[in-house]
């Protein structure tokens, strides 16, 4: 049995990729490791999903149900509780997957793969917290799953480490259940999440955010009894003498996500240290022909709309790949990071197709242009910040004669 | 029939249980204060099976004798009990002339303790061929080919399962509050859950062994807790080491080690910090920085810090006597101390167990009768990890739950988790998330359980009818959740 596309991961990127592939008439199989489709949005009962994609403000659960329903209505072949153990690249247009699922271990072949396995959360040991290792320490996503998929409460006096969107949303979520959120602690001098979330999740609930602070130690041998919080200097180093003990029974780590790329690494996919996801071209194809990546496995997104868009783009890539026996491109132009740009996806463009660039800055700035100097194109932005991904579209006509392309953030007037 | 109570289900107590379970006229009970086996010093140490060339027989005769003996016995036990272990040999690395001179001492000690193959290597090519990632700054090293590594918590679990199979009873969450001595003989132990009759009481209580000893009226040593911190890297972290590498020992430590564990993680440690609190297993910024600095000396480079997946600390029982305290007494007759089992205690444990048997035979003058049927073997849980495709297919077709992957990082299936729980029940321990972790290695990977803990909790509910509200990490007061989501509101609105 030879598929055109096997999609690995049944979250928003994978569902969108499977739907689009199927609509292109490609023989498609969707593989999901959990016992239901949907991925992380299933546990996101807050609104803010689908404003761009559906033109409506939906909860994550509502958003993802629309995609799940579509997969079911179209009758797209999918497997649950199925785990891809290995990918064998037999030829540029032939890959063999080893898949196991309860009661069955089998091999399946495909021309292309769309890898959409999402991300994992950074945990307590990755953020330099020392001290004890008691019960009561959770990642934000784990706490969210406990609360909003299974109706279980992790604790009642909460300190949240990191002010990314997940951390902010969980602060509000705990407050809504009557738990006391003592503080959201952020090591950087600015919040890690979207501004709307800082306002709606913290300010509206009177939850303090401690910027330029870090949790350095967890206390309590069986259950968390408190944390030591310190102020940090400009180099993010603890300032001696600023230690403060805060009593709590629960520590939530919301210190960011890391793309889940272990399987890709095994196959030899090249990883970008900036995104921690694979290096890809404008159709989201990796260095291994016919392996595409979308969603948080590619780059950590802050809007599900972008995730879905990447899934669809990868499906378009798979279609082009199958029609042309490879992605047609006469050459690949590297995309370079310029001033105040922390990451860009894609990493290579052909100049033969229009491109949407996903960009994150290193530090917040006001009154700037996001610019591509080679073509003299720039967009004014009143404010840029690391938490908010910037998208920037360029047409193939603008870039087809370039040898490389740089994206930079320049100050107004420079 | 003699009733034996062993206090402490760590590597020492359980090794003793294994050896004594060979005799039909001993009825053996192990009492353990924790909910499961090996949760003291056993679970958190460097996991080395030392060769025995670092022990001075004049200063520490027991350590010098029992370490190389234990190293030999473990080779048999790890096969019989299916314990993850390897014997890659070790390089004690020196960096200057002063240390080089010191190194010769260990070759001498090796001769005295009859540790085979120990020699100094200064030839760069030979060092590189033994350990490709050795630091270019290394001047030379003491090579000890018999050094090995073991998974210590899995060793304790294996010993416990086998001991129970051979008739040993383990009582969990029993802590000893007193030892009854009458007319110069022990009569039993008092515990939080009642009195246990005993003709022989063996004190293998780790850092608490001095307190137990005093309960029996033997007050000739005390235990200082000594803490060791460690850093564990992602299994993908490179470079790894082929051999055990460590810096030169000091009077208080065996140096800082860089190893690749039996499970394939690069690990560095330990610190050696004398502390007051016997339960202080906290890590510290300074401790971890010290490790980073020391370990960096040994290898070409360490992986990036972003590849750290866990830091931890363990406590060792440092005796005031320096050497192990392994002795039986005329008064109280029947009381045996196995105390101060600091490094190389893990290595020495099997030899200690045989020494305790000999004390019972010779000092207590009890004639031991060998059992006719004693089972030396035990098999570990069959894992899906590291199997070839045809084995995977066979496993999944025999037991469908092998096809349900619970922990993606360490590749652990539902079948293994369920088997682990049955084995926890089999030795009478409490079902905990930590207990499942140590048996399956789920939750040990790069996500440290953030994905699979919840799945495991749901599985416990589905297959063992355990209420998720009652699931704990490590026994009482360590619940996974505090209750259902409306529990605070139901108690009344808080201010």
Mind listing the domains of chain B with CATH numbers?
84-149+224-318 (3.30.9.10), 389-470 (1.10.10)
- Bridge partners, residue B98, by sequence: none
B246 is known as an active-site residue: no
- What residues 134-163 of chain A have any CB closer than 8 A to a CB of chain B? 134-135, 138-139, 141-142, 145-147, 150-156
d(C-alpha A51, C-alpha B363), whole Å: 82
Using DSSP's 3-state secondary structure scheme, residue B102 falls into: helix
- Chain position carrying tokens 């922390």: A342
Residues of B in contact with A141 (CB under 8 A): 450
- Chain position carrying tokens 């595409």: A292
Q: Where are the alpha helices (DSSP H) in B216-284?
A: none
What is the least distance, in Å, from the CA of A319 to any CA of chain B? 30
What is the least distance, in Å, from the CA of A287 to any CA of chain B? 20
Q: Are B275 and B215 in contact (CB under 8 A)?
A: no
Residues of B in contact with A138 (CB under 8 A): 450
CATH no., domain A1-122+256-324 = 3.50.50.60
What is the least distance, in Å, from the CA of A276 to any CA of chain B? 11
Cis peptide before B344 (omega within 30 of 0): yes
- Picking from A33, A85, A178, the nearest residue to B488 by CB comes out as A178
CATH no., domain A123-255 = 3.50.50.60
The gap from C-alpha A404 to its chain's centroid, in whole angstroms, comes to 26
- Dihedral sign from CA coordinates of B412, B418, B421, B426: negative
pLDDT at position B492 is: 77
- Picking from A85, A124, A147, the nearest residue to B485 by CB comes out as A147
Number of neighbours of residue B4 by Cβ within 10 angstroms: 25
- What ipTM does this complex have? 0.94
- What residues 66-85 of chain A have any CB closer than 8 A to a CB of chain B? 81, 83, 85
Q: Are A336 and A407 in contact (CB under 8 A)?
A: yes
- 10-residue averages of pLDDT along chain A (414 residues): 95 98 98 96 94 93 98 98 97 97 97 97 92 97 96 97 94 97 96 90 97 98 97 95 98 95 95 97 98 98 94 98 96 96 97 96 95 94 93 93 94 78
d(C-alpha A55, C-alpha A50), whole Å: 6
CB contact under 8 A, B283 and A139: no
pLDDT in tens, A101-152: 999 999 999 999 999 999 999 999 999 899 999 999 999 999 999 999 999 9
pTM value surpassing 0.90:
yes
Every domain of chain A and the residues it spans: 1-122+256-324, 123-255, 332-414
Name the residue in chain B with its Cα closest to that of A135.
Answer: B478
DSSP-derived letter for residue A200 is I
Residue of B50, B53, B60, B246 marked catalytic: B50
Percent of the residues in chain B that have a pLDDT greater than 70, as a whole number: 99
pLDDT at position B451 is: 86
Using DSSP's 3-state secondary structure scheme, residue B111 falls into: helix
Residues of A in contact with B473 (CB under 8 A): 134-135
CB contact under 8 A, B453 and A221: no
Same fold for the pair A1-122+256-324 and A123-255 = yes
Taking the Cβ of residue A45 and every Cβ of chain B, the question of whether any pair is shorter than 8 Å is answered with: no
Residues of A in contact with B402 (CB under 8 A): 100
Interface test with B, best of A45, A178, A253 (most B CBs within 10 A): A178
Q: Are B310 and A137 in contact (CB under 8 A)?
A: no
- What residues 86-115 of chain A have any CB closer than 8 A to a CB of chain B? 98, 100-105, 107
pLDDT in 10s for each residue of chain B, 495 residues: 999 999 999 999 999 999 999 999 999 999 999 999 999 999 999 999 999 999 999 999 999 999 999 999 999 999 999 999 999 999 999 999 999 999 999 999 999 999 999 999 999 999 999 999 999 999 999 999 999 999 999 999 999 999 999 999 999 999 999 999 999 999 999 999 999 999 999 999 999 999 999 999 999 999 999 999 999 999 989 999 999 999 998 776 779 999 999 999 999 999 999 999 999 999 999 999 999 999 999 999 999 998 999 999 999 999 999 999 999 999 999 999 999 999 999 999 999 999 999 999 999 999 999 999 999 999 999 999 999 999 999 999 999 999 999 999 899 999 999 999 999 999 999 999 999 999 999 999 988 998 899 999 999 999 999 999 999 999 999 999 999 999 999 987 654
Taking the Cβ of residue B409 and every Cβ of chain A, the question of whether any pair is shorter than 8 Å is answered with: yes
Taking the Cβ of residue B95 and every Cβ of chain A, the question of whether any pair is shorter than 8 Å is answered with: no
CB contact under 8 A, A104 and B396: yes
- Picking from B284, B409, B478, the nearest residue to A134 by CB comes out as B478
pLDDT at position B495 is: 47
pLDDT at position B493 is: 60
The gap from C-alpha B388 to its chain's centroid, in whole angstroms, comes to 30
- Bridge partners, residue B105, by sequence: none
């Amino acid at each position: 049995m030879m598929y055109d596309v096997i999609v690995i991961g049944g979250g928003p990127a994978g569902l969108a990729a499977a739907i689009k592939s199927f609509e292109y008439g490609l023989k498609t199989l969707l593989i999901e490791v959990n016992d239901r489709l949907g991925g992380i949005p299933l546990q996101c009962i807050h609104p803010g999903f689908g404003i761009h994609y559906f033109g409506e403000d939906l909860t994550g659960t509502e958003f993802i149900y629309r995609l799940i329903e579509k997969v079911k209505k179209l009758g797209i072949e999918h497997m649950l509780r199925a785990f891809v153990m290995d990918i064998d690249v037999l030829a540029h247009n032939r890959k063999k997957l080893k898949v196991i699922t309860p009661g069955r271990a089998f091999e399946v072949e495909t021309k292309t793969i769309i890898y959409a396995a999402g991300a994992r959360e950074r945990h307590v040991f990755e953020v330099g917290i020392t001290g004890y290792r008691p019960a009561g320490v959770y990642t934000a996503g784990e706490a969210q799953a406990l609360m909003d998929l299974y109706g279980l409460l992790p604790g009642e006096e909460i300190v949240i480490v990191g002010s990314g969107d997940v951390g902010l949303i969980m602060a509000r979520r705990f407050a809504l259940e009557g738990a006391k959120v003592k503080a959201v602690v952020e090591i950087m001098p600015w919040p890690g999440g979207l501004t709307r979330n800082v306002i709606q999740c913290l300010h509206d609930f009177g939850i303090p955010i401690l910027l330029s602070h870090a949790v350095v130690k967890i206390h309590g041998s069986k259950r968390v009894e408190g944390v030591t919080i310190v102020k940090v200097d400009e180099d993010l180093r603890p300032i001696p003498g600023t230690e403060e003990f805060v009593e709590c029974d629960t520590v939530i780590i919301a210190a960011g996500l890391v793309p889940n790329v272990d399987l890709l690494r095994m196959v030899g996919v090249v990883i970008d240290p900036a995104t921690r996801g694979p290096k890809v071209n404008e159709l989201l194809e990796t260095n291994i022909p016919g392996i595409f990546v979308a969603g948080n496995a590619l780059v950590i997104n802050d809007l599900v709309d972008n995730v879905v868009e990447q899934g669809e783009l990868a499906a378009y890539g798979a279609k082009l790949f199958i029609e042309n026996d490879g992605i047609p491109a006469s050459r690949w132009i590297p995309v370079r990071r310029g001033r105040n740009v922390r990451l860009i996806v894609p990493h290579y463009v052909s100049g033969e197709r229009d491109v949407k660039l996903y960009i994150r800055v290193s530090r917040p700035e006001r009154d700037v242009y996001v610019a591509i100097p080679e073509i003299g194109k720039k967009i004014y932005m009143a404010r840029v910040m690391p938490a908010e991904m910037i998208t920037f579209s360029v047409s193939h006509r603008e870039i087809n004669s370039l040898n490389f392309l740089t994206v930079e953030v320049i100050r107004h007037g420079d | 029939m003699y009733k034996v109570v062993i206090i402490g289900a760590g590597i020492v107590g359980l090794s003793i249980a294994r050896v004594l379970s060979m005799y039909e006229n001993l009825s053996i009970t192990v009492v353990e204060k924790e909910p499961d086996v090996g949760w003291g010093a056993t679970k958190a140490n460097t996991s080395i099976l030392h060769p025995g060339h670092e022990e001075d027989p004049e200063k520490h005769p027991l350590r010098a004798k029992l370490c190389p003996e234990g190293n030999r016995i473990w080779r048999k036990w790890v096969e019989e009990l299916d314990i993850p272990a390897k014997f890659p040999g070790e390089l004690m690395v020196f960096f200057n002339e002063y240390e080089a001179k010191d190194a010769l001492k260990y070759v001498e000690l090796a001769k005295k303790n009859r540790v085979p193959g120990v020699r100094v290597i200064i030839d760069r090519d030979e060092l590189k061929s033994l350990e490709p990632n050795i630091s270019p700054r290394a001047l030379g090293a003491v090579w000890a080919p018999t050094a090995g590594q073991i998974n210590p918590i899995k060793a304790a679990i294996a010993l416990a399962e086998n001991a129970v199979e051979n008739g040993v009873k383990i009582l969990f969450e029993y802590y000893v509050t007193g030892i009854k001595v009458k007319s110069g003989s022990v009569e039993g132990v008092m515990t939080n859950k009642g009195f246990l009759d005993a003709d022989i009481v063996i004190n293998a209580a780790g850092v608490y062994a001095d307190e137990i000893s005093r309960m029996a009226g033997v007050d000739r040593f005390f235990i200082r807790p000594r803490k060791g911190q460690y850093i564990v890297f992602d299994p993908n972290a490179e470079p790894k080491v082929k051999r055990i590498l460590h810096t030169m020992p000091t009077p208080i430590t065996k140096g800082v080690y860089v190893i690749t564990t039996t499970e394939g993680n690069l690990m560095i440690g330990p610190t050696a910090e004398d502390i007051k609190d016997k339960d202080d297993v906290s890590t510290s910024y300074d401790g971890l920085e010290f490790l980073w600095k020391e370990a960096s000396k040994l290898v070409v480079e360490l992986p990036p810090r972003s590849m750290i997946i866990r830091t931890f600390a363990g406590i060792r029982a440092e005796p005031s006597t320096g050497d192990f305290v392994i002795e039986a007494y005329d008064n109280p007759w029947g009381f045996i101390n196995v105390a101060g089992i600091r490094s190389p205690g893990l290595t020495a444990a099997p030899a200690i167990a045989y020494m305790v048997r000999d004390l019972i035979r010779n000092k207590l003058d009890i004639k031991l009768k060998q059992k006719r049927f004693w089972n030396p073997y035990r098999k570990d849980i069959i894992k899906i990890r590291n199997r070839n495709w045809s084995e995977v297919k066979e496993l999944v077709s025999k037991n469908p739950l092998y096809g349900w992957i619970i922990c993606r990082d360490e590749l652990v299936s539902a079948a293994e988790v369920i088997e682990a729980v049955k084995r926890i029940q089999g030795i009478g321990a409490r079902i905990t998330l930590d207990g499942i972790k140590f048996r399956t290695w789920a939750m040990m990977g790069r996500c440290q359980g953030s994905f699979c803990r919840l799945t495991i909790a749901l599985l416990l509910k589905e297959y063992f009818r355990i209420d998720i509200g009652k699931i704990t990490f490590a026994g009482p007061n360590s619940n996974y959740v505090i209750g259902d989501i409306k529990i605070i509101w139901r108690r009344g609105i808080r201010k």
